[in-house]
């Protein structure tokens, strides 16, 4: 995706401080607090306690470095802003996520910054640099041949969903209360839909100062959570914890759910984007 993203777009996205502040504040401040308040109510029910704690860990996670960007690009949103916020949010998560887990769950541990930074560097920075270099040398060829990047993005989405579901449910050692699991799945989808609707309402107001492309990037980046960073962090923070598998389940569900929900909403968002652009285009 970085091949088609020009340097000017990245530079422009970098200067969009208001958008970045909105996304990161929603992700790392509002999201954890809102879920903490919700869990105060859900704790009065018969839902498995460790699955509920798992929901809190989901809320503390940073945004992913792939799914939000792919979905934003698929509907013609602000891809540069999505890339920046996904990468920047992941770096912030290295510091803030363990702190949030300590605050809300009372568990702490040291985070191997070197391994996480190296992973982020390989998954975000290196592809971005390679894309910019390739763009410089292949720009004319890409403009002439017009490769099917949209189809490639769809295939990548499908593979992410498939592999994540396989990793989630292939472990025979995870013993789950089926009723609690079904309720948690419903809660996860409800949380995502509610937060996406809230962000859509807030970012599309005239006073917000955001374009329709910005709103799409904000909606995906602020509501998506990282599985690739989240699982290693949970294994470190809750090392030796007998309920680690149950605590991890909501995150394992949230990741494919956010991609599935985003994919389902793509046509509606595309239609809204087209209508918004026609409205703003002078006759």
> Burial, 63: exposed, middle or buried (Cβ in 10 Å; 0-12, 13-18, 19+)?
buried
Residue-wise pLDDT for 161-181, tens only, equals 566 556 556 656 666 778 888
Whether the pTM exceeds 0.85: the reply is no
37 vs 118, higher pLDDT: 37
**Percent share of the chain, pLDDT over 90:** 25
pLDDT of residue 261: 92
228 vs 22, higher pLDDT: 22
Domain boundaries, the chain: 2-273
Which residues, in sequence order, are CB contacts of 8 under 8 Å at separation 6+? none
- Residue 159's closest CA among 85, 82, 66, 90? 66
The CATH number of the structural domain formed by 2-273 is: 1.20.1530.20
Least confident of 127-131, 155-159, 230-234, 256-260: 155-159
């Amino acid at each position: 995706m970085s091949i088609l993203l020009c340097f000017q777009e990245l530079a422009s996205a970098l200067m969009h401080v208001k958008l970045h502040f909105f996304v990161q504040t929603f992700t790392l401040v509002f999201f954890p607090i809102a879920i903490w308040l919700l869990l105060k109510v859900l704790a009065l029910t018969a839902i498995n306690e460790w699955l509920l704690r798992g929901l809190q860990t989901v809320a503390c996670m940073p945004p992913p470095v792939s799914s939000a960007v792919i979905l934003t690009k698929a509907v013609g949103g602000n891809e540069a802003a999505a890339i920046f916020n996904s990468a920047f949010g992941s770096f912030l998560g290295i510091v803030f996520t363990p702190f949030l887990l300590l605050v809300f769950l009372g568990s702490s541990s040291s985070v191997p910054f070197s391994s996480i930074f190296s992973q982020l560097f390989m998954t975000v920075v290196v592809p971005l640099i390679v894309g910019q270099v390739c763009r410089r040398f292949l720009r004319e060829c890409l403009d002439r041949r017009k490769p099917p990047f949209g189809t490639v993005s769809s295939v990548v989405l499908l593979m992410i969903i498939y592999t994540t579901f396989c990793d989630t449910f292939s472990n025979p050692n995870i013993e789950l209360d089926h009723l609690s699991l079904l309720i948690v799945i419903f809660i996860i989808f409800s949380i995502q839909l509610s937060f996406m609707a809230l962000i859509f309402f807030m970012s599309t107001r005239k006073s917000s100062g955001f374009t329709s492309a910005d709103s799409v990037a904000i909606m995906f980046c602020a509501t998506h959570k990282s599985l690739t960073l989240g699982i290693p962090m949970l294994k470190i923070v809750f090392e030796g914890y007998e309920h680690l598998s149950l605590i991890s389940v909501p995150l394992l569900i949230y990741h494919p759910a956010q991609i599935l929900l985003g994919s389902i909403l793509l046509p509606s968002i595309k239609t809204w984007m087209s209508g918004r652009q026609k409205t703003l285009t002078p006759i």
